[in-house]
Every structure is written in structure tokens, then in C-alpha cells.
Structure 1
Amino acid sequence: MGDSPRRQVAATMAEAAQAWLELLTDQQREIARGMPPAGDASDNERRRWFYTPTDHGGLTFHQQGPAQQRAAMRLLSTGLSRAGYVTVATTIGLENILDHTEGFTARFDRERGRDPGLYYLRVFGEPGGDGLWGWRFGGHHVSLNNLVADGELISTTPCFMGADPASSELLGGAVSRPLGRVEDLARDLIGTLPGKAILSPKAPSDFVTANRTLLSDGDRVIPLVGIWRDDRFPDPVEQARLQAASDRIDAAAAYTDADHQALEYTDRPKGIAGAAMDDQQRDLLRALLGTYFGRVPDAVSPLAGYDDAALDAVHFAWAGSTEPGAPHYYRVQGPRLLIEWDNTQRNANHAHSVWRDPANDFGLDVLAEHRQRHH
């Protein structure tokens, strides 16, 4: 099979994963290990993902010593480009900024609600060899999901990165915007497109597809209170606070049934196709795709495969105001591609972005083929 780029990245991942696991105690490994990927009910935990400050499943930084944390970050880096790694590390650090913004209060039934130590890593299966294995890293505003089959990296989605605050001040009048280009390129593009690219004058409160494992025609926004590992907090007071926050977000969006229908997910893309764009617009669209596909190592990025024919089938749609600083949402959709972005909460200073492959998130399509070949 040769040393394809995907095999090289998978080998680097496997070595880093083994090195991390070997540093753990037996008790830590019980938390850090998950069932081997299978594509059936035993695989349900691997296919759960979140972007809220909830239990993402796995061993947290708090549960590790410094050398173990360093090995965990090394594994994390194998699935990211340098820019992707810097963005994720910055997002983790933003927990301290958000804690300051909220007055250093305890939230979410946790000792520290905004906590850079509550990011979780779990390895599924046995790294290396020709079997199935994968790993997941996640915490507030980060979710990375990787699957390896037959020694080759076959899936890197869902790939979520967020920023809260999306924009914050630095000394000398500088501004920190970890996802600034992810927002600005899309706004530059919508500014050149006809009005029919705007699906609604109001932005939804969050992703339309939320954190669903599988996407289906008609999917609509899930309230914030529904995007958590458990249905309810044990503390009724904290549960009431979360419900109130969720209700405030929905009220601010003020979405009617007609608004939901305009934005609901459909297999058929909405918006303006790349085929209908001029050269300048296509360049902006390609650059925007790069802010998502550039999150993973260059060797496995699909961007190089987006020739003119592929770009023709990619659609771009927007919702909300096009003015900087106002709540807004956009979607990029094409064959085996869904990208969603929203920056609506906290006075449009709270950004979410996700890259998905509806046909092969978590490697489910490849897993089905693998089972047919090997069973």
C-alpha cells in the first residue's frame, strides 16, 4: 500500500497515542480507553460529541500530571496543522478570559465552570497495526474526532472550533480574534453575492444541526439546554440557571416556525452555488474552505482536491445581518461537505464553527465497508 500521506499521519498518531497511554496508571487508562470502533451500538460513545462545557468523556487535564499532559498535547498536535494547534490551544486559554468576563463564578454544577483543565482525551481501540482505532479530544468549544482503519487516517470529522470571546482586547489596541478570518472571509463573500444567498434576515441561535451524530432532512436548531451529556444537572438551582440561559438565547433569536423552515438542514444545499460565482467570489469561497480544511495536517487536507468542478457544487448561504458586530450565521454545503458558523450569542461575541462530512462523520461509511471486508 505504500506510505501514503494518510498512512504517515496515522503512524505518527499511533506512536503518540501509545506514548501517552504508556505514561498513564492503570486507573487512568480505565478512563482514557474506550471500546474499539465498530459502527454498531458498542460504538455509540465514540460518536457522541459536544461543544458545551459538559463532560466530553475521557481523561481530563486535571487528572494528569505535567508529563502526561505534554504527551496528550503531542497526540492532539498530530491531528492538527500548526495553525490548527495554535487555534485550539488559544481556545483552551480563553476559558480564563471567559471566567474573568463572568466574574469568576462557579457554573454548570462544576467547581470551576470555565476551566482550561476540563478538556478530555480518550483513545478508542488499540493504536497502530491494521485494526480500527481512533481518538477524541474535546472540551468547551473544541471537538476533534479521528478514526484510523488499516493503518490509514480515514476520518477527521466532526471538527469543531469555537471562541468565547470571539474578540477580546490586547495591549496597545491590538485585538485577539482566533477565528477572525473564518468570519471575515465569509462576510467578504456575502457582500458580493445577490440577496437570494441570504436565507433569513435573522440568525439562528446556534448551529442548525447542533451536535447530532447523524444528519437528516428537516434538522432544526436544538436549544442550548439540549446540548449536554446528561438531561439534567443534579442541582435543581443550576439546572434552572441553564434553562433560563437557554430560554434567553432562544428569545433573543426570536425564530418563528417559518424562520426555522427557511434554515432547516436539507440534503439539497441552499444558497448560491460556486458554479454561479465569478472568479473573485470563487477565490473567496476557496479561501474560506481553507480556514476549515487547514485545521488538519496538509497531508490529509481535502482542499487540494477542490478543483474547479468540485467548487462548482459547493453552495454558500447566510442568515442575519451582514454588518460587523451583528448576529449572523452561514452555511457551506456540497457533496460530502457541511460547514456551519454562527456568532450570535453574547452580543455576537461568541463564535462556533464546524466542518462535517455527512456521509462519513466518525468514519461510519468506511466502517461499514470495513465490516463487510473483514467479517
Structure 2
Amino acid sequence: MTNDGRNARTPTASAPGREGAAAAMATAAATWLGTLSREQLRFALFDSPLDPEAEAERLRWFYTPTNHGGLAIREQSAYQQSLAMQLVATGLSEAGYATVATVMGLENILDQVEGWRVDWGRERGRDPGLYWLRVFGRPGDPVWAWRFGGHHISLNNLIVANRLISTTPCFIGADPAKTALLGGTLSPLGGAEDQARLLARTLNSRQFRQALLHPSAVSDIVSGNRPRVRADDTMMHMQDLWRDRFADPALARLVDDIDRRAEEGSGYTEDDHARLAITVPPQGVSARDLDEGQRDGLRQLLAMYTGRTPEALAGAYDARFAADGVLDEVHFSWAGSLTAGEPHYYRVQGPSVLIEYDNTQRHANHAHSVWRDLTSDFGLDVLAEHRAATAH
């Protein structure tokens, strides 16, 4: 019998810092799990990240409309859905949560844009209920994690010793990237696009030559959904971004066609993709070569990504990049047009940060953005230290 959980305590607001964020997550996760039936728990609760099989599953993440693994929102009661979204909110700032909730709602708009006809092998192709939540390990254990994802959303959080260790990879996309409202426009990622374009337009000719990766934009983020980003990685093609290959020949052809049209639109060859590869040290113009106004613009752009996290964490990131020595190692690069509404791509990369944004597909009205930590996506470094410490 399902414990409906209506007498369970609603998760409270978090205290400052990584410890406070972890405590809020643990409370919210335990409350949500406590309402689930045994059958629901089969999908919602996995073993700890210390278990190799569970860890392999945790490192598989997606931003395509595929099964992300976990318990789907639509498979929960209304009350359980509320508790699930309360857990999601603990990992985000107020603005970050509003952005994620808006992207989920865009599935209804995209369904109409596509003429209600794309099914992706399921009853409804674009479904705001097909976002999956999964917890790895028991909340409050020495090591546990949770993730939330669906089309254009992937949130990944690791908690070790009651401290939030990692919030990346963090992916947010938008399709359509911009749509009309009565008396206005809805553009969930518009701020991050406009700020980067503004920064690029402030570059002088010498700076822009350093920043320009390619006159045409690559058709997707280069890092894709790899669990780890490495030097010389090039863009993953559409066929490789899904959980499984499609058994339905029609859907397989659809994915091939999307990839073909995207490549034709960019005009990229293998040599072009090599030009856009992730490199260490980074490509682009270094912050040390920017004037103070441009450096402030770069900090503002960084904050639009690190600001996805709870406010206390976002403040710590702001303080980190306020330090000139740290910012000096960050590079900004651009590909494609500087004209709004035309295909473009940008990248922000430093020793511990990788940000990618592209808006190229659907006539530059389909945006992808990702924030990653090149040194500790999924908290793998801290997790390795924990394993080593507890092995003795």
C-alpha cells in the first residue's frame, strides 16, 4: 500500500552553505521517498554511488527526449509530484528553479510547433510529465546522490559527509528558445545568450580574432553527454546521445535525418569539428587580455550559470571568480554570427569550468546550454578520496 505522505513534514528552507543545501536535499528526498509504493521505489531508489553498477548508471546522463532513468513525474500522484519538485528546488536558486519549470512546460509548446506528430516511440512525443527523478543511496548516508532529467534538463547532485559536493553536469535547453506571449516574449535562456553576445561585441578586432573559433556555428554543444570531458573531444552526433538505439526503423531514420540536416546547416566537415574540439589549454581570448569592463561582462556571464545553484553556493562562485588570478585563467570563445536570430555558439573555459551554449537548430530557435566542472563533474574526485579513506 502506498504511504500517501500527507502527514509528512514539508521540507523546510535550507541553511547557508553546502551543508545547509545537503540537509535540505536529504529532508526533501526522504519525504518524497517515504510516500512511494514498493513498485515506485523500484524506479526511484538505486544503490549508493559506492556500488559500481549504481555508479555506472549515475554517470549516464541525457538531454534528449529519452528515458533518463528513475520515476517519471507522470507516474506519481499529484502530492508526490509536489514533493518531487520540492526536491528539485533544493538544488536550484529561485531563478534556476523557475527556468527549469519553464523548460518543462515548453514541451506543450514544442508539441504544437511539431504539429503534435513526433512520437519518439511513446504515447506522447513531447510530454511535460516525462521528467525522471532518481535517488542513489539513502538520504543522509555518508554518500548519496540524486538526479533529475528529461528533455533539455539534466541536474546531477552528489552529497558526501552531509555536504553538497557537486552540482554538475548541469544542462538546461529550450525549444523553442524564444516564443511569443500576449504582449511579450518567453525566452528561458535569453539572458545567457544576450550577455554572451554583448561581451563578444565589445571585443576589439584583435580580441575577436583570438575568440573566434569558426565563422559558422557548430550544431550542438561539443562535450555532449559524455560522463567526462577530455582534451580533443569533438561534437557527438545525434545518434550517440540517446540511452539506446531505436529499434523502430522510422525513429532511427528520424534521428539520422535530424543529424544530417544539422550538419548540412552548419556546413561542418571533420576538419571543422576538429577546430571546435575541447582543448587544454583552452581556445579563445583570455580574461587577462580583457579590459575591466569586459572582465565584468565575463563575470556576469559566469554568474548566469553558477547562479543556477542555491543562493549560498552561487555567492561562493561569485567570490571565486571575483579574484583576478582565477578569472585570468578563463577563456571566452565564439563561433557563428553575432546577429541575434542567427546560428551561434560560445564557450567559456577555465581549469575548473566549462560552459557551452549553442542556438543553431530550428533556424536558431533551439538552444542548449551546459555548465560542467572539468576537474570534478559528478564529484568523482571527492568520491575517489572517500573510497580511498574508507578502504583502510
User: TM range, normalised to the smaller chain?
Assistant: over 0.9
Instruction: Assess, with a 3 A threshold, how the Cα gap between structure 1 residues 223 and 109 changes in structure 2: closer, same or farther.
Output: same
Per-residue deviation, 1:331: 0.4
Task: Tell me which residue corresponds to 1:367.
Answer: 383
Q: How does 1:292-371 map to 2 (within 5 A)?
A: 292-301=305-314, 302-306=317-321, 307-371=323-387
What is the CA deviation profile of residues 86-109 of structure 1, one whole-angstrom value per residue up to 9, with x for unaligned ones?
000000000000001011114211
Q: Which runs of 4+ in 1 moved over 2 A?
A: 38-42
What is the CA deviation profile of residues 169-214 of structure 1, one whole-angstrom value per residue up to 9, with x for unaligned ones?
0112x11111111000000011112232111001101011111001
Per-residue deviation, 1:320: 0.6
Instruction: Assess, with a 3 A threshold, how the Cα gap between structure 1 residues 136 and 245 changes in structure 2: closer, same or farther.
Output: same
Task: Tell me which residue corresponds to 1:198.
Answer: 212
Moved more, 195-204 or 14-23: 195-204
Task: Tell me which residue corresponds to 1:242.
Answer: 255
Choose from 178, 185, 191 the match for 1:167. Answer: 178
Q: How does 1:65-84 map to 2 (within 5 A)?
A: 65-84=77-96
Task: Tell me which residue corresponds to 2:269.
Answer: 256
1:159–1:356: 8 Å Cα contact kept in structure 2?
A: yes
Q: How far apart are the structure 2 equivalents of 1:250 and 1:106?
A: 21
Choose from 200, 204, 213 the match for 2:227. Answer: 213
Choose from 148, 160, 164 the match for 1:153. Answer: 164
1:39–1:364: 8 Å Cα contact kept in structure 2?
A: no
Q: How far apart are the structure 2 equivalents of 1:267 and 1:303?
A: 24
User: Structure 1 counterpart of 2:79, which letter?
Assistant: A
What is the CA deviation profile of residues 235-265 of structure 1, one whole-angstrom value per residue up to 9, with x for unaligned ones?
1122112211221111211112331121101
Equivalent residues, number: 370
DSSP-derived class of the 1:181 partner:
helix
DSSP-derived class of the 2:257 partner:
helix
Alignment root-mean-square deviation, CA: 1.2
1:202–1:319: 8 Å Cα contact kept in structure 2?
A: yes
User: Structure 1 counterpart of 2:319, which letter?
Assistant: A
Q: How far apart are the structure 2 equivalents of 1:122 and 1:177?
A: 28
Could you tell me the percent identity over the aligned residues?
A: 53
Q: How far apart are the structure 2 equivalents of 1:228 and 1:257?
A: 22
1:57 aligns with 2:73: no
Structure 2 length-normalised TM: 0.92
Per-residue deviation, 1:39: 7.7
DSSP-derived class of the 2:25 partner:
helix
DSSP-derived class of the 1:97 partner:
helix
Instruction: Assess, with a 3 A threshold, how the Cα gap between structure 1 residues 336 and 40 changes in structure 2: closer, same or farther.
Output: farther
Q: How far apart are the structure 1 equivalents of 2:108 and 2:235?
A: 28
DSSP-derived class of the 1:90 partner:
helix
Segments of 5+ residues of structure 1 without an aligned counterpart are: none
2:152–2:173: 8 Å Cα contact kept in structure 1?
A: yes
